[in-house]
Amino acid sequence: MASESPTSAQDWPGRYHHIDQVLDNPGPRTDPAFLAGDGVKQFLRNEAKILVIGAGGLGCEILANLALTGFKDIHVIDMDTIDISNLNRQFLFRQKDVGHPKATVAAEFIMNRVPGVKVTPYFGKIQDKDDDYYMQFNLVICGLDSVEARRWMNATLVNLVDPENPESLKPMIDGGTEGFKGQARVILPTISSCYECSLDMLNKPTAFPICTIANTPRLPEHCIEWASVLEWPRVHGDKKMDTDDPDHIGWLYKVAAARAAEFKIEGVTWSLTQGVVKNIIPAIASTNAIIAAACCNEAFKIATSSAAYLNNYFMLIGTDGVYSYTFEHEKRDDCPVCGGEALEMTMSSETTVEQLIEILVEKQDIQIKKPSLSTPTKQIYLQAPPQLEKATRPNLEKKVSELVPSGGEVTVTATTLPFSLSLRISYSP
């Protein structure tokens, strides 16, 4: 008789021995709802369904940890394919996998290595799925490198919550790394602080003034920005730059290095060129491993009630040692996702609609790209479709005070976010 394949083999005796030590006996920090014994093990291994978003540096670690912890029904979503540069830290992939979807390859790898675990991949965007899809999961773990994707997922899970249906509350565990720093957090939609509540904690993206990069560059980054923002369209016209194309990066590097030499600026390198145009943050494998472990630890605690889960923020600072701390981030009453109140905004009566849009893009606790503005009675400015954009474009030069009375509300929307923001406008003397 042929031997069983790794994916069809049954669990071997003692496979979960160490985990069973936690699940068979209550401990000093056990949740009052914890029912030690076979019931909780049955739920973890045969009933719990978990969604992992992202199969990159964090996602690979998260998938492996979940499978080895006892979760057996795992789904993973990722829209990227494997690049040769991923192989140094995304350990589920090999050179033969380059060009293939991350989600698919990661799922196959886990199922081959961990018998009895089913990993269902989806190669695409989180926005492709509807509410019914997300309702099937017990919890969601995000291992993303995109603020926009996190905001979308956070808002989607908050919108799912129905007070009459406890099953509609899907805890979200969010992990993120930046070099030697990282964070893990637990979000209970509508109950705890959500991702949108803490936007003001994010580092603002670096932006260089056009006049500086065009006329008086002082840093190597200025030369690279000049090459990508000004020289590329001048030389290549409408041809879109592909930041994953080595030939395009090579052209930028060559042009930026020549400009740097002209202004006696040192420091333009290939890796810096990539970092500036792709906004690359160094990825450290050990940081990914620590944060993924923290996320999966929280998933295990939530799924089993075997210990109190995080309330609600954990940070790791590994730049000068190994330092971590936890704190509770509080909900914002004026959060556009989980709060119920309009955001108060005071501006000069001379502020134009165009200036208001710039404020909404730049303001740390809002950060909405390409916002559209309206009131209950009029459309102030709409980014799309083109016909409405053209029709409302003249309003950009008008003062907000001409269109909205003091105390009036403006609704802000964006195609990238599944929620609207209410602003209550007042004017300074």
Task: State the average pLDDT over residues 6-16.
Answer: 61
What was the pLDDT predicted at 208?
A: 66
Task: For the chain, give every residue range classified as CATH 1.10.10.520.
Answer: 210-278
Among 2-6, 10-14, 177-181, 328-332, which stretch is predicted with the lowest mean pLDDT? 2-6
Angstrom CA distances, 258 to 21, 175, 185, 219, 254, stand at: 63, 40, 45, 13, 6
* Fold that domain 16-203+283-327 belongs to in CATH: Rossmann fold (3.40.50)
Active-site annotation holder among 60, 142, 197, 211: 211
Task: For the chain, give every residue range classified as CATH 3.10.290.20.
Answer: 343-427
What was the pLDDT predicted at 280?
A: 65
Mean pLDDT of the chain: 90
CB burial of 305-323 (b: ≥16 within 10 Å; e: otherwise) equals bbbebbebbbbbebeeeee
What was the pLDDT predicted at 33?
A: 82
CATH architecture of 343-427: Roll (3.10)
Superfamily per CATH, domain 210-278: Ubiquitin activating enzymes (Uba3). Chain: B, domain 2 (1.10.10.520)
More confident residue, 69 or 203: 69
Picking from 385, 382, 378, 375, the residue whose alpha carbon sits closest to that of residue 411 is 375
What was the pLDDT predicted at 11?
A: 67
Whether the per-residue pLDDT at 146 is higher than 90: the answer is: no
Instruction: Give this prediction's pTM.
Output: 0.80
In this prediction, residue 27 has a pLDDT band, given cuts at 50, 70 and 90, of: confident
What was the pLDDT predicted at 322?
A: 86
Q: What are the DSSP calls for 193-223, one per residue?
A: --TGGGGGGSPPPP---HHHHHH---SHHHH
- The verdict on whether 211 is a catalytic residue reads yes
Task: State the average pLDDT over residues 350-379.
Answer: 89
Percent of the chain with pLDDT over 70: 95
CB burial of 258-278 (b: ≥16 within 10 Å; e: otherwise) equals ebbeeeebeebeeebbbebbe
What was the pLDDT predicted at 205?
A: 60
pLDDT digits (tens, 9 = 90+) for 263-298: 999 999 998 898 888 776 678 899 999 999 999 999
Whether the per-residue pLDDT at 102 is higher than 60: the answer is: yes
Whether the per-residue pLDDT at 429 is higher than 70: the answer is: yes
What was the pLDDT predicted at 207?
A: 62
pLDDT digits (tens, 9 = 90+) for 214-265: 788 888 999 999 999 999 999 999 898 888 888 999 999 999 999 999 999 9
What was the pLDDT predicted at 53?
A: 97
Task: For the chain, give every residue range classified as CATH 3.40.50.720.
Answer: 16-203+283-327
Whether the per-residue pLDDT at 3 is higher than 50: the answer is: no
Give dist(CA 210, CA 357) in Å, integer: 19
pLDDT digits (tens, 9 = 90+) for 169-205: 999 999 999 889 999 999 999 999 999 999 888 766 6
Whether the per-residue pLDDT at 6 is higher than 70: the answer is: no
For residue 140, the cross-strand partners are 51, 172
